[in-house]
Amino acid sequence: MEAIFIPIVMTLVGALPMKPQESSPFLSQVADHTWIIGNEIWNLTQGPKYGVQLYYKDHDCVGGAVGHYVSYSSAQGADYIDVIFTADEGEMHWVIFSGLAGAYQYFVNRALPVLGEFRTLWRLDNTTFPRGKTNLRDEALPPLSDYIAANKVQDETWLSPDGNGYITKYDFTAWVRAQTYYGVYGDSFGSWYVNPGKDYYNGNHLKQELMVHRESATGDAVQLNMIHGTHFMASSSDVFPDGKMWGPWLWYLNNGSKEDAAKRATEEFASWPYEWFGDAAYQSRGSVTGQLVLSDGRPAANAAVFLGDKTPNKTALDMGSDYYYTSYADANGRFEFQNVRAAHYGMQAWSNGSKIADVTTSFLRNDIAVEKSRTADLGTLTWDVSNKTQIFQVGDFDRMSYGFQYGGAPFQHALVASCPENLVYHVGQSETSDWCFGQTYLGNWTILFDLPKMLNSTIARNATLIVSLAGYSSGASSTIWANGQWIGNLTSDVPGLLNDPSLYRSMTAAGEWRYFEFEFDPDTLFQETSNEITFQMTRSTTLHGFMWDSIILEW
C-alpha cells in the first residue's frame, strides 16, 4: 500500500522561535520550510517532509537513511516547548524538555481521510542501530546482503541464503497493548518508543503490530509507531472525529542500554496520564468497576474485558475511531478500568480461557457513562451462557490458538506448513496439543467421539457445532461433515470470512477472530460410538487457511 506523506508547516505554542541555548529546548528556522529543533542533548533538522540529521552525542543517527516522518494509507511549560508541524490533515507535536534525550510526540486530527494505516516512524542508520527489540524478540536485524531478489517469496519475505529458513519483517511483530518499550539499538546508541497510554490505539487485547524491521530497499533500521495499524486484521477503515488525539508517547535516545530504556519506561508508565499535558479532554478521566458473574453461577474468572464504542457495529478488534481500554477480570470476575477519558462507552467481555474456557457467549452492555474524577460502579453483571449439553470441546475458547501444536509459538514464517494434511483426534484419548493450530492443506481433519448413553436424539431439538477461528486467510475452503452428512461450509463466500493475513505473515496465536454455529439434525449422530465430525479442505492456497480457537459440539 502506497504511503501518503503529510506535508507540514511549523508553529510553536506559547513561545517565539529560539536559538540554541546551553540548557534550553529550542526551535530555529534555517531556511524556507526547514527548521532545527532540539535541546542541549540532541537536535533534528526538519524539512517539509522528513526529519533528518538527528544529532545525538555528536553523531548523526540518521546518516543516509530516510529519517523521521508521518504517513497514512487510504501547552507550554516553563521547562519545555511544544513545536507544532501543521498540515490540512492535522498537527504533529514535538514536546521538548530541557535535559531530555528525546521528545514527547502526539498527533491531533483535523481532516484525516477515512483510513486504515496511520503511523509515525524513524528510518535510521543501519550501522548505528543494528539490533531490534520488542518485548518478544531481541536480536540483530538481518543484514541487507541476505535480501536476495531471487529468494523473495512474498511481500517483505525472503528465503534465507542458506535455504534453511526465512527472513521477514513480520517476525518482529508484538502485542500492542502488552508493549512496554521497543526500538532499535547498538553498542553506543539506542532509539526507543515508550507508549504508556494505549487508549488511542485501535483494537482490543488481540491487536498485534509490526514494531521494528530492516527496510529491504535501503537497509535502513526502521522503528515503527503504528498508532492505527492493520497488518493482521481483516479490515479496519475508520472515520476520525476532529480532535482525535494519538499520544503523547515518548521517543527516547540513549547509549543503547536496554536497562536504561526499561527504567525510563517504568517511570513513564507510573506518571501516565501526564500531569504536564494541559489538554482538558486528556485530563478529564474517570474509572469503571464491576463484577461479571455467569448465569450458571460461576464468576467470570480472568475474562477479557473491553471498553469501546457504545453501540458497536464492528468487532472489538476492528474499532479505531475513538479511545479504547482493555483489562482482565480477576478470579472472582471483578474488573476495573482506570484513567478512562470522560465519554460514553460499550463494554464487552469474552472468555480468556482458564476456568471459563467452555464459555462461547460474549457479554455486552451499552452506554456506560464515564465522568471526570468519578467511578462508574456497574455492580454485579449477569453474563448469559449456553444451557445446552456439551458433547465435546477441542481447544479452550479464548479467541487464540493456544494449547494446539505450535499455537502461540514465536512468530515464524511458514510454521503452519508443519501441520499435517490429515489428522484424527479421539475425544477422551487425544491431547489438545494433538490438534495443530492451523489447517492449510487439502485433506481431512476428523474428530472421533462417542455419545453419552443418557442422550436420546428423540428428545433433542437440534445439535449445534460451534466453530471458533482465531484467524482465517482466504483462498481456502472447507466442507464440514457429520457421519458423512453435510452440515456446512467454511469458504470466502461465507459472510464474516474476509481475509486476514495472519497465517501467511508469521502469526501463530491470532488474527481476526470469527465465530460460527452449524445446527443440524441430531439423528445424524445415530451411533453411540465412533461418531465423526470432519473438516474436509477442498480448496487450498499456500499458507492460507484456518487458524483454530475452539470446536465445540452441543446437544
**Residue ranges of domains in the chain:** 4-282, 284-383, 390-554
> 4-282: which CATH number, 1.10.540.10, 2.70.98.10, 3.90.950.10, 3.30.930.10?
2.70.98.10
Under a CB-based contact definition with an 8 Å cutoff, are residues 359 and 304 in contact?
no
Per-residue pLDDT, 455: 62
- Are 387 and 461 in contact by the 8 Å Cβ rule? The answer is no
Nearest Cα to Cα of residue 341 among 381, 303, 315, 368: 368
R_g over Cα of the chain: 26
DSSP bridge pairs for 174: 209
Give φ, ψ of 46 to 5 degrees.
-105, 120
pLDDT tens string, the chain, 555 residues long: the values are 445 555 544 444 433 334 444 457 988 888 888 989 999 999 999 988 888 889 999 999 999 988 786 655 544 445 889 999 999 999 999 999 999 999 999 999 999 999 999 999 999 999 999 999 999 999 999 999 999 999 999 999 999 999 999 999 999 999 999 999 999 999 999 999 999 999 999 999 999 999 999 999 999 999 999 999 999 999 878 999 999 999 999 999 999 999 999 999 999 999 999 999 999 999 999 999 999 999 999 999 999 999 999 999 999 999 999 999 999 999 999 999 999 999 999 999 999 999 999 999 999 999 999 999 999 999 999 999 999 999 999 999 999 999 999 999 999 999 999 999 999 999 999 999 999 999 999 999 999 999 877 665 555 668 999 999 999 999 999 999 999 999 999 998 888 799 999 999 999 999 999 999 999 988 887 777 889 999 999 999 999 999 999 999 998
Angstrom distance (rounded) from CA 358 to CA 356:
5
- Write the DSSP symbol of residue 21: B
Strand partners, 182: 193
- Grid cell 499455537 — which residue? 407
Q: What is the pLDDT of residue 125?
A: 97
The confidence score (pLDDT) of residue 71 equals 56
- Angle, vertex CA 122, rays to CA 120 and CA 127, nearest 5: 165
Instruction: Return the CATH number of 284-383, one of 3.40.50.970, 2.30.30.60, 2.60.40.10, 1.20.1600.10.
Output: 2.60.40.10
- The amino acid that residue 532 corresponds to is E
Which CATH number among 2.60.120.260, 2.60.40.10, 2.40.160.60, 3.40.50.11030 corresponds to the domain 390-554?
Answer: 2.60.120.260
Cβ-based neighbours of 434, under 8 Å, separated by 6 or more = 405, 423, 425
- What dihedral do alpha carbons 327, 330, 333, 335 form, nearest 10°? -40
Q: What is residue 17's predicted lDDT score, i.e. its pLDDT?
A: 37
Q: Which helix (H) or strand (E) holds 268?
A: helix 258-271
Measured in degrees and rounded to the nearest 5, phi and psi for residue 415 equal -60, -35
Helix/strand/coil (H/E/C) assignment for every residue in 186-252: CCCCEEEEECCCCCCCCCCCCCEEECEEECCCCCCEEEEEEEECCCCCCCCCECCCCCCEEEEEEEE
Give pLDDT, residue 398.
Answer: 98
Place of cell 531556511: 31
Would you state the pLDDT for residue 47?
Answer: 86
The C-alpha atoms of residue 62 and residue 54 are separated, in whole angstroms, by 6
pLDDT at 458 (0 to 100): 52
DSSP H or E stretch at residue 34: strand 34-38
The answer for residues whose C-beta is within 8 angstroms of residue 338's C-beta and 6 or more apart is 287
The answer to whether 25 and 95 have CB atoms below 8 angstroms apart is no
**What does pTM read for this prediction?**
0.92
Identify residue 358 by its one-letter amino acid code. D
